Amino acid sequence: MTLLDVAGLTIRTGGRDLVSGVSFSVEPGGRLGLIGESGSGKSLTALAVLGLLPPGMTASGAVVLDAPGAGRTDVLGAGERRLNRVRGRAVSAVFQEPLTALDPLMRVGRQVAEPLRRRRGLRGRALRAAVLAALEEVRLADPERVARAYPHEISGGQRQRVAIAMALACDPALLVADEPTTALDVTVQADVLALLDGLVAGRGMALLFISHDLAVVARVTERVVVLRDGRAVESGSVGEVVRAPRHPYTQDLVASARHLDRALDWRTP
Amino acid sequence: MTAPLIGEAEAAAPPARRRVPRSVTLLTGCVLAGLVVAVAVVSLFWLPYAPDDTSGDRLMPPGLPHLLGTDKLGRDLLTQLMIGARVALEAGAGSVLIGGVAGLAGGLVAGFATRWMDDALSAFLDILIAFPTVLLAMLVTAARDASLGSAIIAIGLAMSAIVARLARVLVKRVLAQDYITASRTSGTSWPRIVVTHVLPNIWPTLSVNLALQFGLAVLAEASLSYLGLGTPPPNASWGRMLQEAQASVFIAPAGVIAPGVLLVVLVVGVNLIADGVRDVADPTRRRTR
Ligand SMILES: Nc1ncnc2c1ncn2[C@@H]1O[C@H](COP(=O)(O)OP(=O)(O)O)[C@@H](O)[C@H]1O
Ligand SMILES: [Mg+2]
């Protein structure tokens, strides 16, 4: 059984193809990396998987989500009601910018409570306990204080942890992480990456991990798809792609990653 | 309809450790606007003279028995001022209610519209805004009667287009935020997103604009009354008092000063309240206090 099957995904706006014929699939509990430079169509692909393409864009091809308990959903053809049942449970997401991912006017605790209340039907004390547990699970020190804080009162790394807690609140079968560490300080990056890695493994969740950074993708995923100008130019296991890149673009990516590694004398595990 | 949102957001939040800091702005605004409200409330129960009592001498200076003097017809100025307070508040509140509700509704629809629908709605709003309020007031007056109610409807309709255009931009800006996408990612329905994210986030800016519109509505009612399209005599509006008294401003300055001062007090008071409420509603501003 395949959890997510993307076949020939093409995203078009104003007569221009932003993504052309991209195909990949993710098994339950599997991990796939989507890598490519800025503007290569990674985020649009992620949004298509969530059925959240911006208005004015049309998608063709197929995006099928088949999560246990949520049924088989043709994301591109489904209506908003159907998608709202799938989102959160079958698939959820963490985005790049932790600053803007939280509502500035709402206390953090209330934002984390929202999906828990709606999906798990929790109220009152049980809801409050679940919020604190969710914040603890993403290893936020002093969850009580964080729950009471407004987003601008906590750091970028803390905000991203909160965003992860919200994405995991409904126990999705698949987590889409679109450059979740790109906007963070390097030291915080490693922590958040390790946290994400651990949580996904612990829950047996599948992961679609998006990054422009080969080293980061190599750390958390098993397989990668390399995107360039909206096309998948190469795909395979991380080992294969790093050891023997076939497409010139991938060779560049690997070479520059190795170059950086050597320059820093810093080896990826 | 929209005002309780701030209250709701505050009430539903986890218990606060520190209380909302007292806002000096808010307090000052309440005192100023409260003064006018108090005068209006008193006018409902007691007036020094009947509104149409012209038994006084013309253009009397402040003193006794006419505390603020009389106008050129011998009517008591204090009496007119007190009635004017009620008329001003009704004009402001009524117009803002109509303009706010209709404008917010229109702005939400336009804010969610995309492509040609969005273009069409924007053009429609621009045309409405360009439509002169006086012409609108004449149409409403022709359809109903020359009254405060007609003036309020006309001012409210004109205001709704302005409010809708602002709300449309604010809604679009909020909808483009990542937290909306994040919220949709966890399966939140649109109505729920509007209530929990869109309205609270557009409200700080919108409320300040509505306060500004309140002041403009009071002034607009004054102009319409002057043209015979608003409150009919003997009920006074401050604007008509101002315009009637301007010819005799050097002989009887009280006729201009009294309504002028109260007009400023009301408009400034309402604007301060809006500023203060925004400070309380917006946590990022609250901290800098
Ligand atoms: N809302 C939009 N309207 C038009 N073009 C867009 C929009 N969003 C993204 N694009 C274009 O689509 C391409 C892919 O964007 P994106 O998926 O965000 O790239 P990535 O995430 O890989 O950096 C880019 O060329 C970008 O300019
Ligand atoms: Mg991107």
For residue B286, name the pLDDT band (cuts at 50, 70, 90): low
Residue nearest to atom 27 of ligand 1 (CA): A39
Range with the poorest average pLDDT among A50-59, A178-187, B48-57: B48-57
Distance from CA of A162 to the nearest CA of B (A): 12
- List pLDDT tens digits, range A252-265: 888 888 877 777 66
Q: Which residue has the tokens 């006074």?
A: B236
For residue B9, name the pLDDT band (cuts at 50, 70, 90): very low
Q: What percent of chain B has pLDDT over 90?
A: 44
Lookup: tokens for A47: 């949004």
Upper half-sphere CA count for residue A90 (Cβ side, 13 Å): 26
Beta-bridged to residue A236, according to DSSP, are A224
Helix (H) or strand (E) holding A18, with range, is strand A16-26
Q: Which residue has the tokens 């679109």?
A: A178
Q: Is A89 helix (H, G, I), strand (E, B) or coil?
A: coil
pLDDT of B7 higher than 50:
no
Query: Going by C-beta distance under 8 Å and a sequence separation of 6 or more, which residues neighbour residue B177?
Result: A100, B201
Query: Going by C-beta distance under 8 Å and a sequence separation of 6 or more, which residues neighbour residue B9?
Result: A105, A106, B200, B281
B12 part of a folded domain: no
Lookup: tokens for A143: 């969850």
Buried b (16+ CB within 10 A) or exposed e, A182-219: bbbeeebbebbbebbbebbeeeebbbbbbbbbbebbbb
Do B177 and A92 lie within an 8 Å CB cutoff?
A: no
Put simply, whether A115 touches B (Cβ < 8 Å) is yes
State the Cα–Cα distance between residues A223 and A201, nearest whole angstrom.
15
C-alpha closest to that of B77 among B252, B263, B267: B252
pLDDT of B234 higher than 80:
no
Query: Going by C-beta distance under 8 Å and a sequence separation of 6 or more, which residues neighbour residue A261?
Result: A215, A267, A268
CATH number of the domain bearing residue B149: 1.10.3720.10
Range with the poorest average pLDDT among B145-154, B173-182, B195-204, B245-254: B245-254
Put simply, whether A44 touches B (Cβ < 8 Å) is no
Q: What percent of chain B has pLDDT over 70?
A: 91
Q: What would the mean pLDDT of A27-41 be, rounded to a whole number?
A: 94
For residue B19, name the pLDDT band (cuts at 50, 70, 90): very low
pLDDT of B5 higher than 50:
no
Q: What would the mean pLDDT of B247-276 be, rounded to a whole number?
A: 87
Task: Please report residues of A whose CB lies closer than 8 A to that of B189.
Answer: 80, 84
What pLDDT is stored for residue B250 in this prediction?
84
User: How remote is the CA of residue A42 from the centroid of ligand 1, in Å?
Assistant: 8
Please state the φ and ψ torsions of residue A46, each to the nearest 5 degrees: -60, -45
Put simply, whether A110 touches B (Cβ < 8 Å) is yes
Task: Please report residues of A whose CB lies closer than 8 A to that of B278.
Answer: none
Find the angle CA(B269)-CA(B140)-CA(B89) to the nearest 5 degrees.
Answer: 15
What is the number of the ligand closest to the CA of A39? 1
User: Could you say which DSSP state residue A52 is in?
Assistant: -
Residue nearest to atom 1 of ligand 1 (CA): A54
Do B183 and A80 lie within an 8 Å CB cutoff?
A: no
What pLDDT is stored for residue A172 in this prediction?
93
Q: Which residue has the tokens 């917010």?
A: B104
CB B243 within 8 A of CB B80: no
In A225-264, the residues whose Cβ lies within 8 Å of chain B are none
Do A105 and B201 lie within an 8 Å CB cutoff?
A: yes
Q: Output the CA–CA distances (angstroms, integers) from residue B33 to A211, B214, B269, B274, in the order listed.
A: 56, 12, 5, 11
Task: Please report residues of B whose CB lies closer than 8 A to that of A97.
Answer: 178
User: Could you say which DSSP state residue B197 is in?
Assistant: I
Nearest CA in chain B to A103: B179
Q: Is B247 helix (H, G, I), strand (E, B) or coil?
A: helix
Q: What is the ipTM of this complex?
A: 0.87
Amino acid at B141: T
C-alpha closest to that of B25 among B204, B284, B268, B288: B268
Do A103 and B287 lie within an 8 Å CB cutoff?
A: no
The atom number, within ligand 1, closest to the CA of A41 reads: 17
B17 part of a folded domain: no
Mutate to test the pocket of ligand 1, among A43, A52, A176 (most ligand atoms within 8 A of CB): A43
For residue A233, name the pLDDT band (cuts at 50, 70, 90): very high
pLDDT of A95 higher than 60:
yes
Distance of CA A93 to the CA centre of its chain: 5
Q: Output the CA–CA distances (angstroms, integers) from residue A139 to A96, A143, A161, A198, B15, in the order listed.
A: 19, 9, 8, 11, 23
Residue nearest to atom 8 of ligand 1 (CA): A44
Q: Is A59 helix (H, G, I), strand (E, B) or coil?
A: strand
pLDDT of A224 higher than 90:
yes
pLDDT of B88 higher than 90:
yes
State the Cα–Cα distance between residues B164 and A126, nearest whole angstrom.
41
Per the prediction, chain B carries an average pLDDT of 84
Q: Which of B14, B189, B283 is opposite residue A109, by nearest beta carbon? A: B14
Q: Can you say whether residue B239 is alpha, beta or left, with left for phi > 0 and alpha for psi between -120 and 50 degrees?
A: alpha
Q: Which of B16, B185, B282 is opposite residue A87, by nearest beta carbon? A: B185
Report helix, strand and coil shares of chain A as percent, to nearest 5: 40, 25, 30
What pLDDT is stored for residue B134 in this prediction?
86
Please state the φ and ψ torsions of residue B43, each to the nearest 5 degrees: -60, -25
pLDDT of B33 higher than 50:
yes
Q: Which residues' Cβ are closer than 6 Å to ligand 1?
A: A 13, 18, 36, 38-44, 54
- List pLDDT tens digits, range A122-155: 888 999 999 999 999 999 989 999 999 999 999 9
What pLDDT is stored for residue B2 in this prediction?
36
State the Cα–Cα distance between residues A158 and B226, nearest whole angstrom.
60
Residue nearest to atom 9 of ligand 1 (CA): A44
The atom number, within ligand 1, closest to the CA of A178 reads: 21
What pLDDT is stored for residue B145 in this prediction?
85
For residue B20, name the pLDDT band (cuts at 50, 70, 90): very low
Do B189 and A84 lie within an 8 Å CB cutoff?
A: yes
Chain B residues bordering chain A (beta-carbon distance below 8 Å):
9, 12-17, 114-115, 177-179, 181-190, 196-197, 200-201, 281-284, 287
State the Cα–Cα distance between residues A154 and A109, nearest whole angstrom.
12
Task: Please report residues of A whose CB lies closer than 8 A to that of B181.
Answer: 47, 52, 95
State the Cα–Cα distance between residues A8 and A23, nearest whole angstrom.
5
Give the number of domains in chain B.
1
Helix (H) or strand (E) holding A232, with range, is strand A231-237
User: Could you say which DSSP state residue B248 is in?
Assistant: G
- List pLDDT tens digits, range B36-71: 999 999 999 998 888 877 777 777 777 778 777 887
State the Cα–Cα distance between residues B93 and B19, nearest whole angstrom.
30
B145 part of a folded domain: yes
What pLDDT is stored for residue A109 in this prediction?
95
Do A56 and B114 lie within an 8 Å CB cutoff?
A: yes
For residue A108, name the pLDDT band (cuts at 50, 70, 90): very high
Task: Please report residues of A whose CB lies closer than 8 A to that of B6.
Answer: none
Please state the φ and ψ torsions of residue A4, each to the nearest 5 degrees: -130, 125
* Domain topology for A4-267: Rossmann fold (3.40.50)
Provide the whole-model pTM. Answer: 0.84
Upper half-sphere CA count for residue B115 (Cβ side, 13 Å): 6
State the Cα–Cα distance between residues B152 and B276, nearest whole angstrom.
26
For residue A173, name the pLDDT band (cuts at 50, 70, 90): very high
User: How remote is the CA of residue A179 from the centroid of ligand 1, in Å?
Assistant: 14
DSSP codes joined into one string, B42-79? HHHH--SS-TT---SPTTPPS-SSSTT-B-TT--BHHH
* Structural domain boundaries, residue B120: 24-43+75-286
What pLDDT is stored for residue A264 in this prediction?
66
Distance from CA of A161 to the nearest CA of B (A): 14
Peptide bond preceding B65 in cis form (omega within 30 of 0): yes
Q: What would the mean pLDDT of A1-11 be, rounded to a whole number?
A: 94
What pLDDT is stored for residue B11 in this prediction?
35
User: How remote is the CA of residue B211 from the centroid of ligand 1, in Å?
Assistant: 40
Please state the φ and ψ torsions of residue A87, each to the nearest 5 degrees: -65, 140
CB A119 within 8 A of CB B187: yes
Residue nearest to atom 2 of ligand 1 (CA): A54
| Mutant choice from A13, A82, A105, A135 vs B, greatest count of B C-beta within 10 A | A105
What pLDDT is stored for residue A20 in this prediction?
95
What is the number of the ligand closest to the CA of A37? 1
